[in-house]
Amino acid sequence: MKRFSISTLVMALMTLALLACSPKPEFKNIDITGASGFGGDFSLLDVDGKTRTLTDFKGKVVVMFFGYTQCPDVCPTTLTEMQQAMTLLGPQADKVQVLFVTVDPARDTAAILKQYVPSFDPRFMGLRPADEAALEKVTRDFKIYYKKVPGLSPGSYTIDHTAGSYVFDPEGHLRLYIKHAQGPETLAHDLKELLK
């Protein structure tokens, strides 16, 4: 039988003590830490035509929401709740990046996103896929459902789409799925957990 030295025993006890001092975050939304098969990096255009990837936001908590600017209810409600959560975060809000990814790039031009998204909070950023293939890739990667629903005229369609949001921690790991209409307090709580 192997004998452990006193120094080995002390090191093991110190490691256990450190682990006990670092409790697992208590999220109010769905913890998807370590989930595989979806999410990850992306390559989308910002309103100035610059390609953005997850690496551009390293060091910040990233909240990623898919929607479209002509959405009558879910999108403005979600962005308003995100803005209210940013207010609740106070100075910590500067360590959070909200990304609004359009699922309607045909109508959501860079100019429209540039006006719409920051109207909720100047720190929010609108992103769009470069083409239909890029839209299909990012929505497939994040398991986002979207489907055009015809309106009275060809340009008056709506889009049914996934209403939840994804959250990455400051190291770029996918951590949370935020359900729709949880309220700003719940979102702010979970963001604070990731900012610890």
Q: Residue ranges for the binding site for Cu cation?
A: 71, 75, 161
Structure tokens at 166: 């994804």
CA proximity to 146, closest of 124, 163, 169, 133: 163
CA proximity to 153, closest of 117, 113, 114, 107: 107
Distances (CA, A) of 44 to 62, 69, 161: 14, 17, 18
The whole-angstrom distance between residue 161's C-alpha and the CA centroid of its chain comes to 16
Annotated binding site: 71, 75, 161
